[in-house]
Amino acid sequence: MMKLPVFNPREIPSRSLTTIDDTSSLLPLLSRGQIEKALSAQNDALLMQRVKSSAFLHRDTHQVNEPRDAAVLILLVEQEEGLEVVFTVRASHLRHHAGQISFVGGAVETGEEALAAALREAREEIGLDVQPVTVLGMLPIYHTITGFAVTPIVACVSAHDWGVQNLTVDACEVDHVFTVPLSVLLNPDLVHVHEYEWENALRQYYSVTYGEYFIWGASMAMLRNLDVLLRLVA
């Protein structure tokens, strides 16, 4: 059986990202066009040479030999005040990550592409009508502690199309849906870095607290990778 670290992620001491890394706000870059530009930068070999191999986060504390493919949808809502990110609170009875916050998504089925899997899971988990959703690109694959190789699909939807969505959550998977401004999730003053020791090594993870919600782990790691790309094209 896979051995997992056991702790309350809210209780691990942390420091804000600005006390560790001298980074500035990305607020001027947080538009649909800038995000498309950042995601497409992964296809530019010269640009990618400027990114150190350690800059991207690729895995949690444990990595299995044969991870199962999965995909998540990082859905951005184009509100007048700025982009907002759609999250779900996972159902409390689930085997993995019960009650935690995550993007919609799940395992890729046999013969299925990551994009198709992410959109299918969004329909199944929250009843999302994917017709008005525009795909912007993908982020680097991220390996989770539970043995999945996750492809994050970044997409957007207009405020109007989001407002008329008739969302119906699958209670077997999801408790409820909420959104968080992307400007909050990528604000270095609000991003916290937690460090803990496990299996004789120092580990770390990122988090953002937004009201009652504590967003951390793989979801924050994927957003940190988006941060890397946005700074690359700044």
State the pLDDT at residue 121. 97
Residues of the chain with pLDDT under 50: 1
Tell me whether strands 148-158 and 68-79 are parallel, antiparallel or unpaired. parallel
pLDDT, residue 1, reads 47
pLDDT reported for residue 94: 53
**Helix segments in the chain, DSSP class H:** 32-40, 45-48, 114-126, 159-163, 182-185, 218-232
Given this model, what pLDDT does residue 212 score?
A: 94
Say which DSSP state 116 is in. Answer: H
Q: Which of 106, 84, 85, 83 is nearest to 95 (CA)?
A: 106
Where exactly are the structural domains of the chain? 17-232
Predicted pLDDT of residue 124: 96
Query: What is the reported pLDDT for 215?
Result: 96
**CA gap 229, 206 in Å, rounded:** 17
| pLDDT of res. 182 | 97
Confidence (pLDDT) at 95: 55
Which of 3.30.2140.20, 3.20.20.150, 3.40.190.10, 3.90.79.10 would CATH assign to domain 17-232? 3.90.79.10
The predicted pLDDT at position 63 comes to 60
